[in-house]
Amino acid sequence: MEVRAHAKLNLTLDVLDRRPDGYHDMRMIMQSVELADILDLEYNETGELRVCTNLHFLPNNEKNLAAQAALRWYEGETSQEVGRWDMEDLKRSSNFNGLDIRIEKHIPVCAGLGGGSSDAAAVLRALNEMEDACLAPESVAGIGALVGSDVPYCVIGGTALAEGRGEILTPLPPLPKCWAVLCKPEFSISTPALFAKIDSVRLRCRPDTQGAIAALEAGDLQGVARRMYNVFEDALPERQRARVNDIKNALIQCGALGASMSGTGPTAFGLFDDESAAREAQEHLQDFGGEIFLTRTL
Ligand code: C5P
């Protein structure tokens, strides 16, 4: 079975409190875009779970979130005790004969675009169909929460408010269709390190999440774009923050209705209601280096 794993953008991202379990309570509006990895899942008779990707530096073992998703799937079918399985357990399971997961990456890695989480979500959605399990999307998302905080959202997709660790989802009225230009600078950001840093940073500004939801309800693309903001921008090291700001300013100068950073970054994006302005922005940003993408919201 071939499945698409779409990238996500954070239209708003707010970090609330640090919790006793070490995670943070979040409030963020998520949006899927057409940019996607393509996964191919095929049963094999080797008894092995094999993962391969077109990027040599990505793990092909349990460290790959797509493999973890498959492990959690088969674990759920046989055991109440989650989170302890590994590849060896999988081989001993009577209802597992072998599976190949091939991933063609198009979403940049460690970019704040949810690529790994979306691959994991795609594996769970595919297995739900391949195995005729007929689990409701909320149940598939529940298994996804065992793999990573953004996986439940990636199972459901669309426009949604994510709270708690990211697993409490409320569907929102869809963002009016528009173009998004994405620019991922050359550096990468460690998600756990940025979460650790945000506890000690004085946040200068917080997103108007409620205002953005009201704008979605009114179908007001400009109103949403104007309110886009991500508190992690304040926690970036100075040089990286300056770089993200330069990209955002360039996007706005090219006619973006609003610009922000996605997730823990470093990808910055702008929303456009006009295709030719979006294409010009894509062209203009080539001079900035990094990886540039033009895509549409879903
Ligand atoms: O859940 P996931 O594995 O994607 O999270 C990666 C890391 O990000 C966690 O280990 C934690 O440090 C941080 N995190 C957090 N609060 C969240 C989500 C992630 O502190 N809501």
| CATH numbers and ranges of domains, the chain | 2-171 (3.30.230.10), 179-296 (3.30.70.890)
Q: Is 157 in the pocket of ligand 1 (CB under 6 A)?
A: no
Going edge to edge, which strands form the sheet with 268-272? 258-261, 268-272, 179-184, 291-296
Tokens of 212: 């953005």
Amino acid at 130: M
30, 8 contact by CB (below 8 A): yes
Cis peptide preceding 185, ω within 30 of 0? no
The answer to whether 164 and 26 have CB atoms below 8 angstroms apart is yes
With tokens 């104007």, the residue in question is 226
| 208 labelled catalytic | no
Give the Å distance between the CA of 191 and the centre of ligand 1: 7
- Name the region of 170 (left: φ>0; alpha: ψ -120 to 50; beta: rest): beta
CA distance 132 to 225: 40
Of 14, 37, 119, 150, the active-site residue reads: 150
pLDDT per residue rounded down to tens, the chain (298 residues):
999 999 999 999 999 999 999 999 999 999 999 999 999 999 999 989 999 999 999 998 889 999 999 999 998 655 555 556 678 877 777 778 899 999 999 999 999 999 999 999 999 999 999 999 999 999 999 999 999 999 999 999 999 999 999 999 999 999 999 999 999 999 989 999 999 999 998 888 999 999 999 999 999 999 999 999 999 999 999 999 999 999 999 999 999 999 999 999 899 999 999 999 999 999 999 988 899 999 999 9
Whether the CB of 166 sits within 6 Å of ligand 1: yes
d(CA 153, CA 151): 5
Catalytic site includes residue 287: no
Q: What is the radius of gyration, based on Cα positions, of the chain?
A: 19
For residue 168, the CA-to-ligand 1 centroid distance in Å is 14
- Cα gap 154→144, rounded to integer Å: 9
